[in-house]
Amino acid sequence: MTKRESEIIQLLKDNPLLSQNSLAEKLGITRSSIAVHLSNLMKKGLLKGKGYIINENPYVCVLGGANVDIVGFPSHKLIFRDANLGNLKISMGGVGRNIAENLVRLGLDTKLICVLGDDMYGKKVVSHSEEIGIDIQDSLFLKNKQSSVHLAIMDNHNDLALGLSAMGIYDEMTSQFIRKKKEQLKNAKLVILDTNISEEVLTWVTQNIPEQYFFLDAVSVTKSLKAKKLLKHLYMIKVNILEAETLANIKIKSDRDVEKAISFFHKKGIQKVFITQGEKGVFFSDAKVSGHIKADKIKVINTNGAGDAFVAGVVYAHIHNMSIENTTKVGMACASMAIQHEDTVNPLINKNTILKDAKVY
């Protein structure tokens, strides 16, 4: 923040209703100069909305994917190469967007930077974000482009049987665009990255904002390869067993192999590591304390958003300075709640329920 911007912030703290002309008069500069400074403060995330409301609350920034999920639930055992009877559910999706929605529902101010077209799906994501309180204004909005859509067919156990993702629009976000968002990323309490974003953008962000705390969600085995060269810049990482194998170049067949993978990540400089095993639980480590927590057996309705909810829970706990073990418990409580609802994000998730389920009071 520049000296002039600090002066403006102080004046607005004393009187949030000051007009641009009044600010200009008090500081002895032109109204047009004030307008430029106010615009810059908004871009940096230090002012929000109209009326120059000072954003004093810490916020989390998510740089990742947003799309619409179309999920099919078969009525009977899935038969491939045939037309199956069942039900369709359309909901908001995308790893980054899902994490952002969970964070907002947990009570954290959250900024989402994603890519959206001007089609009906993009408009749906924008309206839903505005409705629930995700700050999406710094995203890349493109005309005459198709927004990302994810099609998922579940099996009769409500696990993913087949998926197809049309995510070509993500390639439209470049380092040239993201460098304009440096201040928003820099001023965040923590930045969550998902590997739907290009390696070019992920590299630029992690290399040019070295003071920031980055939390990476590997997303998938193939997409996790984008993070191979970024590990030394990360503060936290969430991977499943297959993603851990890929990034650490270790074949994991036992708990001892998991420990080797965790050690690999710590040697790269990552402070907190979470390796998920689905229904088997989660391995966790912050180099000082490590362990494994088994997952509770619950009725599964939709597993699609479990990992995203876990990340949001971990971030919530981290922001509130919880121990690594309690942080893991909160993440698992969020994941558990997520898979008990047809939507990718359980709309009933909230901090009181999660803290009670995680038993971390």
pLDDT given for residue 51 in this prediction: 57
Q: What is the pLDDT of residues 70-108, one digit of tens each?
A: 989 999 999 999 999 999 988 899 999 999 999 999 999
pLDDT given for residue 342 in this prediction: 83
Whether 3-54 and 59-67+95-146+173-358 share one fold: the answer is: no
Looking at per-residue confidence, does 348 or 10 come out higher? 348
For the whole model, what pTM was predicted? 0.82
Q: Find, among 308, 310, 263, the residue nearest to 287 by Cα.
A: 263
Q: Which of the following CATH numbers is that of domain 59-67+95-146+173-358: 3.20.20.140, 3.40.50.300, 3.40.1190.20, 3.20.20.60? A: 3.40.1190.20
Does domain 3-54 match CATH 1.10.10.10?
A: yes
- Other beta carbons within 10 angstroms of residue 298's beta carbon come to 11
Q: Enumerate residues 6+ apart whose C-beta is below 8 A from 98.
A: 92, 305, 308, 309, 344, 345
Using pLDDT thresholds of 50, 70 and 90, give the confidence band for residue 307: very high
What kind and span of H or E run contains 129?
A: helix 120-132
Using pLDDT thresholds of 50, 70 and 90, give the confidence band for residue 348: very high
Does residue 182 have a pLDDT over 70? Answer: yes
Does residue 18 have a pLDDT over 80? Answer: no
Does residue 57 have a pLDDT over 70? Answer: no
Q: How far apart are CA 40 and CA 360, in angstroms?
A: 40
Mean of per-residue pLDDT scores for the chain? 92
- Other beta carbons within 10 angstroms of residue 43's beta carbon come to 16
Q: What is the pLDDT of residues 103-145, one digit of tens each?
A: 999 999 999 999 999 999 999 999 999 999 999 999 999 999 9
Looking at per-residue confidence, does 283 or 300 come out higher? 283
Does residue 56 have a pLDDT over 90? Answer: no
pLDDT given for residue 262 in this prediction: 98
Does residue 157 have a pLDDT over 70? Answer: yes
Average pLDDT of the segment spanning 11-39: 81
Locate the domains of the chain by residue range: 3-54, 59-67+95-146+173-358
Average pLDDT of the segment spanning 207-233: 96
